[in-house]
């Protein structure tokens, strides 16, 4: 087992033991097991999947951040880390549409506004992808 901590500016979203953790990084999606080589990478928007070794999976929608892995511990610092089961797909779809409109309107505006709108869109896309990935996984593992 490997100890995992997922931390946001607001809270510790998860801390506990896991058999494997799948993480979206700048180099692509990786799965980490106990004894993984040490690694520091950037976290990309997407889905973290925490597997407990008994068939249980927890899904987290994450945004940008940092991942640090050593042989027995993983620390993930992320702008957001939402438990997917608490997310509603329709609300995310609406937020995504608003973010897309904000990106379009800010394209000709100031750089800071455009960057902020793009970050919000990235966050909503990560949430949407995570909700859909969990639903797809649930169908395969009843």
pLDDT at residue 7, rounded to an integer: 97
Strands 28-33 and 20-25: antiparallel
Is residue 130 within 8 Å of residue 87, measured between CB atoms?
yes
Q: What is the mean pLDDT of the chain?
A: 87
Of 136, 17, 138, nearest to 72 by C-alpha is 17
pTM above 0.85, yes or no: no
Distance between CA atoms of residues 114 and 120, nearest Å: 10
Predicted pLDDT at 66: 97
pLDDT at site 67: 96
Number of neighbours of residue 27 by Cβ within 10 angstroms:
10
Given a cut of 60, is residue 76 above it in pLDDT? yes
Element housing 90 (H / E): helix 89-106
For the cut 80, the answer to whether the pLDDT of residue 3 exceeds it is yes
How far is Cα 10 from Cα 80, in angstroms, rounded to an integer?
A: 9
Is it the case that residue 140 has pLDDT exceeding 70? no
> Chain-centre distance of CA 126, in angstroms?
7
Q: How far apart are alpha carbons 60 and 22 in whole angstroms? A: 10
Maximum CA extent, the chain? 51
């Amino acid at each position: 087992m490997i100890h995992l901590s997922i931390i946001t500016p607001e809270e510790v979203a998860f801390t506990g033991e896991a058999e494997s953790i799948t993480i979206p990084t700048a180099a692509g999606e990786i799965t980490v097991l106990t004894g993984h080589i040490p690694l520091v990478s950037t976290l990309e928007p997407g889905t973290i999947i925490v597997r407990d070794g008994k068939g249980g999976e927890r899904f987290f929608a994450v945004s940008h951040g940092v991942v640090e892995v050593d042989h027995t511990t993983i620390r993930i610092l992320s702008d957001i880390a939402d438990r997917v089961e608490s997310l509603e797909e329709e609300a995310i779809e609406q937020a995504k549409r608003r973010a897309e409109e904000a990106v379009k309107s800010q394209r000709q505006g100031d750089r800071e506004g455009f960057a902020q709108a793009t970050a919000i869109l990235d966050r909503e896309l990560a949430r949407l992808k995570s909700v859909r990935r969990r639903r797809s996984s649930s169908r395969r593992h009843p």
